Amino acid sequence: MKKLFNYIITLMVILMTGCDLDEIPVDTGTNQAIFGSTSGMELYITSFYDLLPNTDVGVFMIDDNSDLVARNGVDTYLSPNALSPITSTGWAWTDLRNINYFIENAEKSTVAGKEHFLGLAHFFRALFYFDKVKRFGDVPWIDRTIDVSDSVTLKGTRTSRFEVMDKVLADLNYAIDNISLTSDPTCTRITKNVASAYKTRICLYEASLRKYHTEYNMQGTANTWYQEVVNAANSISGFALHKGASDDRSYRELFIAKTPFTDETILAVKLDASLQVFSSANRRFISPTYGDRPSLTRHFVNTYLKLDGTPFTDAPNYETTVFANEVQNRDLRLKQTIRLGDYNRTENGVPIIAPPNFNQTYTGYQPIKWCYDERFPYDDESRNDNAHIIMRWAEVLLNKAEAMAELGTITDADWASTIGALRERAGITGSTLTAMPTSADPYMRSFYLGKFTDPVLLEIMRERAVEMIFEGLRPDDLIRWHLGELFENAPLNGMYVPALGEYDLNGDGVTDVLFYQGTKPTPPNPTIALVDVTPSAAVGRIQLSNGASGEVIWNPGAREWLDKKYLYPIPENDRTMNPALGQNPGW
């Protein structure tokens, strides 16, 4: 993203040199050049967009480190003894200084309409602090530029995370009240609606953390934050769930469009081949050697409803249903998220049948959500130029539904306009579209370790995971719900294999994968993936749960969850420079 905005800033500087000759040239770098004109402040604000998620690795990678995805290796966060004050990162404050410098000087500006730019600056300060609080908990609250000689501030203690979050909320409210831009046809600029949408995300996180992290004893304040979610969601206008030509394309086409669909997309970054600004989505999802090689787990895939709105796991034999059968008559988002038997790709424009490829997936549930269907050059080079979606209307609906369920105010009408609307787009029918559930699904209760029993909330949690997979929200969800143990304990399982031997995964009469033990066989044709499931405890091996049959089980290495990981440790170098920072519990 920084590369993209460097291009934008350069272009703006060029354009501004041709403005009113009475203006001081921007390239002088003077305070007056920036804060004495609308164009100067707009140029400065543009640099803050670098706080948004990087487009190369993208929000699509964040969920790799969650309970829903099997991936290559184990991240430092979960690998035993890997995360420590020595290895911890993220304690950087340059962006905050830049924001505070802008606010201080813009407040003194006499330029008409400066309030809009101040609103944007307060929005980005809220984002900056939200990320810091999520990572470290208590952090110093600083709302002014600090002189290098200000030892009192530089050597000061941290501020309570709850006090900081109150200030984050104040910044968000200021942004919403002062940003003058309500909508943006490119979906790439911060508008009043964008600020409100982020407010639903941030306030939901804070409300849940206050409710479920009882060690803070802040449960009594949670409902205030849940209500802020509902209020912010209700203030947003101009968006609807995207409906394409057919229900089996509406969902996925959001993520492979070069130009964001303005009906649902609230904020995105447009990538640009002419500027050499790309993402690496195809490579990171498909390449067997590049990236995490993420694959959905069967544990999660089981949560996708059937098209009639009933749970797939109600079937008595669901545990031993083979891939070709288990994916039939399911929520249409499943076929728009992973490769099913009828999935087709192209190679240099030539159509090819593309069932799950065990040379590229660990579980058989191979993602396609963010990936172009054309192989070249996208699978081999970081050349994706599909828009990078950061916020969309579906998330706002989910945030609102969860907040109302927690408040106990959700009605059937609210359900129909949120969860029901999402399921209707996914081709689901039945009473689940209009009526809230009255009994909890046993599978979902077990999925969340018995910690959640409310039937409405469990279904919202089901819907949130299915709708938002690979959009970067899942790790935060586990943290705010106090479900960190799922990072370690969630099964990394895959499709059911009745016996060793050859399997045709898409019913076209051609073998796609051969599971074997012992000596590697000679494949009938070179396109068959050979999977060695010889019993072994070695890291990086695939096993079958019953030895010579059962679910595919992937072993990426040891995962470890400790409750102290709800917060990162303060990096040791920063504590050495300022011992008053202290350290987070357990570190």
Tokens of 497: 């294999």
Query: What's at 89, amino acid-wise?
Result: T
Packing angle of the helix pair 222-235, 161-178 (nearest 10 deg): 20
Side by side, the strands of the sheet bearing 529-532 are 501-503, 513-516, 529-532
Dump the DSSP string for 483-535: -THHHHHS--EEEEESSSEEE-SSSSSS--EEEE-SSPPPPSSTTSEEEE---
Confidence (pLDDT) at 147: 86
**Residue partners of 287: CB distance under 8 A and separation at least 6:** 293, 360, 379, 380
**Residue partners of 537: CB distance under 8 A and separation at least 6:** 555
- The beta-strand segments (E) located in 139-290 are 265-269
Helix (H), strand (E) at residue 436: none
In the Cβ-directed half-sphere of 548, how many Cα atoms lie within 13 Å? 5
Q: Which of 407, 396, 405, 417 is nearest to 225 (CA)?
A: 407
Q: Contact 236/196 with Cβ under 8 angstroms? A: yes
Confidence (pLDDT) at 151: 85
Distances (CA, A) of 292 to 65, 107, 295: 10, 46, 9
Tokens of 120: 């944007």
pTM of this structure: 0.95
Strand pairing category for 513-516 and 529-532: parallel
Confidence (pLDDT) at 32: 87
Query: What's at 358, amino acid-wise?
Result: F
SS3 352: strand
Confidence (pLDDT) at 245: 87
The DSSP output letter for 204 is H
Helices (H) and strands (E) in the chain, counts: 21, 12
d(CA 547, CA 283): 32
d(CA 357, CA 341): 11
Q: Contact 441/313 with Cβ under 8 angstroms? A: yes
Distances (CA, A) of 400 to 199, 227, 392, 432, 460: 11, 9, 13, 18, 10
Q: Could you tell me the residue ranges of all domains in the chain? A: 1-43
Each residue's pLDDT, cut to its tens digit, for the chain (587 residues) gives: 444 444 444 433 333 333 332 333 334 456 888 999 999 999 999 999 999 999 998 999 999 999 999 999 999 999 999 999 999 999 999 999 999 999 999 999 999 999 999 999 999 999 999 999 999 999 999 999 988 788 888 899 999 999 999 999 999 999 999 999 999 999 999 999 999 999 999 999 999 999 999 999 999 999 999 999 999 999 999 999 999 988 899 999 999 999 999 999 999 999 998 889 999 999 999 999 998 999 999 999 999 999 999 999 999 999 999 999 999 999 999 999 999 988 999 999 999 999 999 999 999 999 999 999 999 999 999 999 999 999 999 999 999 999 999 999 999 999 999 999 999 999 999 999 999 999 999 999 999 999 999 999 999 999 999 999 999 999 999 999 999 999 999 999 999 999 999 999 998 899 999 999 999 999 888 889 999 999 999 999 999 999 999 999 999 999 999 999 999 999 999 999 999 999 999 99
Confidence (pLDDT) at 18: 34
Q: Contact 8/279 with Cβ under 8 angstroms? A: no
The DSSP output letter for 70 is E
Q: What is the pLDDT of residues 218-240, one digit of tens each?
A: 999 999 999 999 999 999 999 99
Q: Which of 165, 264, 158 is nearest to 205 (CA)?
A: 165
Q: What is the pLDDT of residues 319-360, one digit of tens each?
A: 999 999 999 999 999 999 999 988 999 999 999 999 999 999
Percentages helix, strand, coil for the chain, rounded to the nearest 5? Answer: 45, 10, 45
d(CA 355, CA 337): 13
Q: Is the peptide bond before 288 cis (omega within 30 degrees of 0)?
A: no
Confidence (pLDDT) at 525: 87
d(CA 530, CA 522): 9
Instruction: Please classify residue 317 by burial: count the beta carbons closer than 10 Å to its beta carbon, then call 0-12 exposed, 13-18 middle and 19+ buried.
Output: exposed
Q: Give bridge partners of residue 135 from the DSSP assignment.
A: none
SS3 587: coil
Confidence (pLDDT) at 576: 96
Q: What is the pLDDT of residues 439-452, one digit of tens each?
A: 999 999 999 999 99
d(CA 240, CA 393): 7
Side by side, the strands of the sheet bearing 493-497 are 493-497, 550-555, 541-544
Confidence (pLDDT) at 30: 63
Q: Contact 332/253 with Cβ under 8 angstroms? A: no
SS3 46: helix
